[in-house]
Amino acid sequence: MISWILKIFTLAVAIVFVVFGAYNFDVGSYSFGGDRPTQSETGPLKKIGGDRPTQSGNESLKKMRSIAETQHELAMLLMGKKEFSKAAEEASKIFDLEWPVEEEPVLLKELIRFSDQFRHEDQATLGIQLLENNFKAFKTTPSRATIWKEKGYLYKNLNQMDKALECFREAQRLEKP
């Protein structure tokens, strides 16, 4: 009886993932995957001052998310091909965009996801470089503390304990009340 309940539960979870898109990074929050606006959703460009067309804030954010989604996929495909340096370059383009501070939690998840992926591929050094190169994109203290901790984990993975200690101490300093 219990095995049938487990099978039904597993099937239900699978259906939810298919219906809502398991690979869509929107599950549980908003992010870069699955957000493919059509032309009718984004509307035409508006002219504000001069001749340069701009998009409203919401339309601009949709465009940035679309760009980030593409960069994410490029980076992941390159990782799959074991072209790690190129993957790091493509991933960094996500953080080079001028994101509003409200998007920082999503960006932080993305940065940590890439860092973790590099660690699992025995490319912790590239993970550290990715963190250092994109640290400037994060303005809030909690995000910066998280990045310092992630950097500490990567140094620990490289068996560079002194550097790992420095990173965790910096995170500790930032997290003090």
Structural domain includes residue 113: yes
- Look at residue 66 and tell me if it is in a domain: yes
Let me know if residue 136 belongs to a domain: yes
User: Which distant-in-sequence residues (6+ apart) come within 8 Å of 92 by Cβ?
Assistant: 130, 133, 134
User: How many structural domains compose the chain?
Assistant: 1
Examine residue 135 and state whether it is found in any structural domain, yes or no: yes
| 94 found inside a domain | yes
Q: What residue type is 39 in one-letter code? A: Q
pLDDT reported for residue 9: 54
Which structural domain range is residue 90 located in? 23-34+55-175
For the whole model, what pTM was predicted? 0.68
**Degrees, nearest 5: CA angle 106-157-138:** 25
Arithmetic mean of pLDDT over the chain: 79
Q: What is the mean pLDDT of residues 112-135?
A: 96
Residue 158 lies in a domain: yes
Residue 168 belongs to a domain with what CATH number? 1.25.40.10
As a whole number, mean pLDDT of residues 105-121 equals 96
pLDDT digits (tens, 9 = 90+) for 15-67: 543 344 433 343 333 445 444 333 333 333 333 333 434 446 688 899 999 99
Position 7 scores a pLDDT of 58
Instruction: Give the β-pairing of 46-47 and 53-54.
Output: antiparallel
User: Does the residue 81 lie in any domain?
Assistant: yes
Question: Is 43 inside a domain boundary?
Answer: no
Segment 63-77 shows an average pLDDT of 95
